[in-house]
């Protein structure tokens, strides 16, 4: 990618593989007395798109990047432009449009680390300012699930002991199944999935199937697809190789 902006002499900065997009939708989840989850939503304008990535280069190039950040700050703008991204440098997430120029502010820079005798590196945390997006909202097929997914039932079994030794049971109205797993998506499917989750937000969605998972919420819950769920958490885990992405998703059954 190229870096430019106020106080910056434009130059190319190369991003090391392994970057992690950090997208946070402006949702706050609460669990109601009936066991179901409900979201309060401050709206898409409050969503933020951040990233953490590493830069490794010759020492003078790392110093150039740090100087650019401080020069930019001295211009009292505190943001600069990133452009000409490689296909493996979509650092803010696959659905963020990296084909043009993205205005970026740097939130944090680590200490300089030695990579080898002549190379240095730094870790950078950055936020995209008013990014544009690409791709359409659609739910891709949920397959290519990593080994080690979790199925559980968020159940209650509250007992109160009385003076006579008898117990009272005060459970909530319904127990809710939970599922957490890591899925692998193609570039196109990851773009669609991120757009879909952003569009649906706190809504109930219908999962038509999950390949290889007969009991997504355990054997005591409904296992007949389609199943209504709410995605109460998701995390973009970054690229896997150069053609795929991974995402960790937590779903709550709608009781």
Q: What is the 3-state secondary structure (H, E, C) of 137-196?
A: CCCCCECCECCCCEEEEECCCCEEECCCCCEEECCCCCCEEEEEEEEEEEHHHHHHHHHH
Phi and psi at 64, nearest 5°, equal -65, -40
Average pLDDT over residues 97-122: 89
Question: Does the pLDDT at position 30 exceed 90?
Answer: yes
- The model's confidence at residue 139, banded by pLDDT at 50, 70 and 90, is very high
How confident is the model at residue 173, as a pLDDT?
Answer: 59
Of the given ranges (17-21, 132-136, 149-153), which has the lowest mean pLDDT? 149-153
Question: Does the pLDDT at position 5 exceed 90?
Answer: no
How confident is the model at residue 163, as a pLDDT?
Answer: 75
- The model's confidence at residue 66, banded by pLDDT at 50, 70 and 90, is confident
Q: 181 pairs with which residues across the strands? A: 249
Among the CATH numbers 3.10.450, 2.40.30, 2.40.160, 1.10.3210, which is that of 2-128?
2.40.30
How far lies 158's CA from each of 34, 128, 178, in Å?
14, 46, 19
Cβ-Cβ contacts under 8 Å for 238 (sequence gap 6 or more): 18, 19, 20, 21, 245, 246
More confident residue, 170 or 21: 21
Task: Give the start-to-end residue ranges of the domains of the chain.
Answer: 2-128, 150-253
- The model's confidence at residue 12, banded by pLDDT at 50, 70 and 90, is confident
Question: Does the pLDDT at position 43 exceed 70?
Answer: yes
How confident is the model at residue 232, as a pLDDT?
Answer: 97
Work out the percent of the chain whose per-residue pLDDT is above 70: 95
**What digits encode the pLDDT tens for the residues 168-206?**
766 655 678 899 999 999 999 999 999 999 999 999 999
Which candidate, 245, 224, 228, 248, places its Cα nearest to that of 96? 245
Question: Does the pLDDT at position 157 exceed 70?
Answer: no
Average pLDDT over residues 225-254: 95
Mean pLDDT, the chain, whole residue set: 89
Question: Does the pLDDT at position 51 exceed 80?
Answer: yes
- The model's confidence at residue 162, banded by pLDDT at 50, 70 and 90, is confident
How confident is the model at residue 8, as a pLDDT?
Answer: 80
In this structure, how many other beta carbons lie within 10 angstroms of the beta carbon of residue 209?
Answer: 13
Q: Where are the beta strands (DSSP E) in the chain?
A: 2-5, 8-12, 20-24, 27-31, 37-41, 48-58, 80-83, 102-109, 113-114, 119-128, 150-154, 159-161, 167-169, 176-186, 205-207, 227-240, 244-253
Question: Does the pLDDT at position 115 exceed 80?
Answer: no
Question: Does the pLDDT at position 76 exceed 80?
Answer: no
């Amino acid at each position: 990618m190229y870096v430019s902006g106020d106080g910056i002499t434009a130059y190319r900065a190369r991003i090391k593989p392994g970057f992690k997009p950090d997208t946070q939708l402006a949702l706050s989840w609460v669990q109601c007395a009936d066991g179901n989850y409900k979201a309060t939503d401050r709206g898409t304008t409050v969503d933020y798109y951040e990233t953490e990535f590493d830069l490794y280069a010759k020492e003078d190039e790392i110093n150039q990047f740090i100087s650019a950040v401080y020069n930019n700050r001295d211009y009292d703008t505190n943001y600069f432009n990133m452009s000409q991204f490689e296909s493996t440098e979509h650092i803010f997430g696959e659905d963020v449009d990296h084909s043009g120029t993205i205005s970026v502010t740097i939130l944090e820079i680590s200490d300089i680390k030695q990579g080898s005798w002549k190379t240095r590196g730094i870790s950078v945390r950055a936020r995209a300012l008013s990014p544009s997006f690409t791709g359409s909202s659609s739910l891709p097929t949920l397959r290519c699930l990593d080994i080690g997914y979790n199925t559980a039932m968020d159940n209650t079994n509250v007992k109160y002991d009385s003076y006579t030794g008898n117990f009272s049971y005060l459970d909530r109205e319904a127990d809710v199944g939970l599922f957490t797993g890591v899925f692998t998506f193609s570039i196109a499917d990851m773009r669609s999935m991120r757009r879909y989750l952003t569009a649906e937000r706190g809504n109930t969605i219908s999962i038509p199937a999950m390949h290889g998972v007969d009991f997504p919420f355990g054997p005591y819950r409904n296992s007949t697809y389609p199943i209504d769920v709410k995605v109460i958490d998701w995390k973009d885990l970054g690229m896997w190789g150069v053609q795929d992405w991974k995402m960790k998703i937590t779903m709550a059954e709608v009781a």
